[in-house]
Structure 1
Amino acid sequence: MEAVFGLLLMLLGVAHGVETHCDGRQDGAQCYGAVGGTVFIRLMDIIPPRFTLQKSRTRILRWKNKTVSIYVLKNRSSFDPSNGTFRISNLHKNDSDKYLLEIQNSNGVMVENRALHLSIQVFAATNTLNVEPTTVTDTTAEYLPVMAGVLSALVLLLVLGVFVFRRKKKTSAKEEEDEEELTYTDVRVVQRRHIQQRDEGEVEYGQVRISE
């Protein structure tokens, strides 16, 4: 039981606060993250004169005249122009959405637009381990939902284990009490039978004396 509980805490600790990396340079890219964690999205290789990043038609990032402006996610995000990476930290469930990148030339004419989908997984736990940053590939992306299912199964097994253990303990205690009562009753029956045998012996002895 203690081993299962320890494994559960370990898996929960790994899931929470993890850093994930996503390649958003292709249209339709799928990105994943964990609630409370951080995601690094690679938007481009070469920084264009102008571009904007929108979420549900709300501008969250703008690059113009070599100056970056961040909206909405100002306290939780940043953009690194040296490698074209956009970072979102302390991820929330509502960060899951479709993000649209619009690239423009120096005249403000749009020359390219791409979309990426960000999905944030929910893990209700507190980080208890030091986790190295991991890169989200297609395999890792499939692994996150599987981990959520494994965690749910472990929680269920833990609850069932505690229930069975307590029920078994109560049953054992009841059997011990029943056994003690049965033994006590047997002793009393034997004692009463012994007293009756002694009474019968005395009556027979008295009858012999009267006859004599």
Structure 2
Amino acid sequence: MEQFFIIVLLAGGTQALIPVDETTCDLRTNTCPCSPLLKGTVYIQVMTDASGREVTCLKMLPTVNIIVFNLKKETITIDKEFNNRLQFLIRNGTIKITNVRRNDSGQYSIEVFNSGGVREKNINFILDVKGNDKAESKLCVETYCDGRHDGAQCYGALGGTVDIQLVDSTSEISRYQLLKNSLKILDVREKMILSNTIKHRSVFFPSNGTFRITNLSRTDSGNYTLQTFDSDGKSSGVQILQLFFQAPVSSVLLVSECLSQGERRVSCSSEGGDSPQYSWTLDGRTLTDAEILSGNMKTNVITLKQHVSGHLACSVKNLVSKVSKEQRLSTCEIGHLPLISGVLSTLIIFLVVVVAAVCAQRKKQNSKTKATPSSYSAEEENDQEEIFADLRVVKQQAKQLEKRAELEFCRVKCSKRPRQTEPTIDDCLYVNVHKFR
């Protein structure tokens, strides 16, 4: 007996270590399919509180509807298919299903009545059970389309949901059909659904004339025709509806880097999304040309000027989605190494010029020792004039290089100050350059 209990405890302990995948769906705000994982647990919130109400949940099947559960006078009755797997939490209006099965997938309808028996609402949703590979689910985007006008164009997101308003809620149209490329999709007569060829991922609401399609794909794009009929079965009108679908933008990545002169390059990249459009804001306002060094408001890469700082945001959108990313930017430190290198380069050039002048003078002096005494005096006089001229040129070049060195050092010194006005020579610390005489 003791051994038996040990086995039970070990088995129970082992089972407790196995993680259970949980999915939460809120039907109050989301119309996308609820997609729990196989053998996992799903929480489906129908309303905030079901106390004092009567609730009936139906699973819609081609031939007959199954009552999944029924709540009446605080007593819950559950169908045998969901027995020991389903709970309805009255206090927060939530359905809990454990050990989710493949055949749990399908279309469901929930009717809610008040204590007087008057129907308050009718909620339709789709349960789409996924495999247990824990693959990341697709982004679900909901869009609305008003198809009551001929030639209407509507846009939806791939993998998302679109609600198409076909007729008015108070319409007196006896019968209407929705076709795509001559293929009948939906047939409704006297607000009763006669056929729906895509009912596994669509719901029609006769009360308000809205047709909801979920898990949209590119093949759903195209021209749709809505045909209406009078009570005698004669055609009363034809309307054309165009549907277009795009992949939504799922995420945005913002990367920035400082450049050598204190500018900042910022790149904005998006994951997914057809035909993305970019825009930039700084502290909630549009960037100005005075703040952008290169690029523009519609490019995904821009270079900001040195003084720009604040909360920079990049927004990426298309016809069905919009995602933004924000980053706090501070001014970049200007690197001293490039400026110091410029100063050293200037001094090296100056030294090279001086050394070249000295070498040229010595070469001329050596050549004079080989000249004849009669011609030496005249040539010596001419050479001295040339030497003096060369020295004057070197002196002028030295002054120019000295001024360049002062300006380079000025930039190093003044770069640490707040940017107000352009620096002048008087604002800087001069370099003492020894002159060659």
**TM-score in terms of structure 1 length:** 0.52
Q: State the structure with bigger RCO (CA 8 A, min sep 6), 1 or 2.
A: 1
| Displacement of 1:66 | 3.5
| Pair 1:22–1:65, CA change in 2 (3 A) | closer
- Supply the distance in 2 between the matched residues of 1:79 and 1:119 (Cα, whole angstroms): 20
How do residues 105-184 of structure 1 correspond to structure 2 at under 5 angstroms? 105-123=230-248, 147=276, 149-150=277-278
Pairing partner for 1:34 from 118, 136, 157? 157
Given that residues 175 and 188 in structure 2 are in contact (C-alpha distance below 8 angstroms), is that contact kept between their aligned partners in structure 1?
A: yes
Q: Which structure carries more helix by proportion?
A: 1
Question: Is the aligned partner of 1:25 residue 2:148?
Answer: yes
- Supply the distance in 2 between the matched residues of 1:106 and 1:71 (Cα, whole angstroms): 21
**Cross-structure match for 2:206:** 81
Given that residues 249 and 274 in structure 2 are in contact (C-alpha distance below 8 angstroms), is that contact kept between their aligned partners in structure 1?
A: no
Given that residues 248 and 274 in structure 2 are in contact (C-alpha distance below 8 angstroms), is that contact kept between their aligned partners in structure 1?
A: no
**Identity fraction in percent:** 43
Given that residues 93 and 122 in structure 1 are in contact (C-alpha distance below 8 angstroms), is that contact kept between their aligned partners in structure 2?
A: no
| Displacement of 1:81 | 1.2
Pairing partner for 1:49 from 163, 171, 174? 174
- Supply the distance in 1 between the matched residues of 2:149 and 2:202 (Cα, whole angstroms): 21
| Displacement of 1:18 | 0.9
SS at 2:198 equivalent = coil
**Rg comparison, structure with higher value:** 2
Given that residues 31 and 119 in structure 1 are in contact (C-alpha distance below 8 angstroms), is that contact kept between their aligned partners in structure 2?
A: yes
Given that residues 19 and 37 in structure 1 are in contact (C-alpha distance below 8 angstroms), is that contact kept between their aligned partners in structure 2?
A: yes
Give the AA of the match of 1:106.
S
Give the AA of the match of 1:20.
T
| Equivalent pairs, count | 122
- Supply the distance in 2 between the matched residues of 1:75 and 1:22 (Cα, whole angstroms): 21
**Cross-structure match for 1:61:** 186
- Supply the distance in 2 between the matched residues of 1:25 and 1:96 (Cα, whole angstroms): 18
**Cross-structure match for 2:74:** none
- Supply the distance in 2 between the matched residues of 1:59 and 1:47 (Cα, whole angstroms): 21
- Supply the distance in 2 between the matched residues of 1:47 and 1:70 (Cα, whole angstroms): 20
SS at 1:36 equivalent = coil
Q: What are the superposed Cα offsets for residues 113-166 of structure 1, whole Å, 9 maximum, x if unpaired?
A: 10110001024859xxxxxxxxxxxxxxxxx8653x54xx86xxxxxxxxxxxx
SS at 1:69 equivalent = strand
Given that residues 163 and 210 in structure 2 are in contact (C-alpha distance below 8 angstroms), is that contact kept between their aligned partners in structure 1?
A: yes
- RMSD (Å) for aligned C-alpha atoms: 2.7
Given that residues 205 and 211 in structure 2 are in contact (C-alpha distance below 8 angstroms), is that contact kept between their aligned partners in structure 1?
A: yes
- Supply the distance in 1 between the matched residues of 2:154 and 2:139 (Cα, whole angstroms): 17
Given that residues 192 and 206 in structure 2 are in contact (C-alpha distance below 8 angstroms), is that contact kept between their aligned partners in structure 1?
A: no
- Supply the distance in 2 between the matched residues of 1:124 and 1:69 (Cα, whole angstroms): 37
Give the AA of the match of 2:155.
Y
Structure 2, unpaired ranges of 5+: 1-137, 252-272, 279-298, 301-437
- Supply the distance in 2 between the matched residues of 1:123 and 1:82 (Cα, whole angstroms): 30
Q: Moved runs in structure 1, 4+ residues, more than 3 A?
A: 123-126, 144-147
- Supply the distance in 1 between the matched residues of 2:180 and 2:149 (Cα, whole angstroms): 17
Q: What are the superposed Cα offsets for residues 164-185 of structure 1, whole Å, 9 maximum, x if unpaired?
A: xxxxxxxxxxxxxxxxxxxxxx
Structure 1, unpaired ranges of 5+: 1-14, 127-143, 155-212
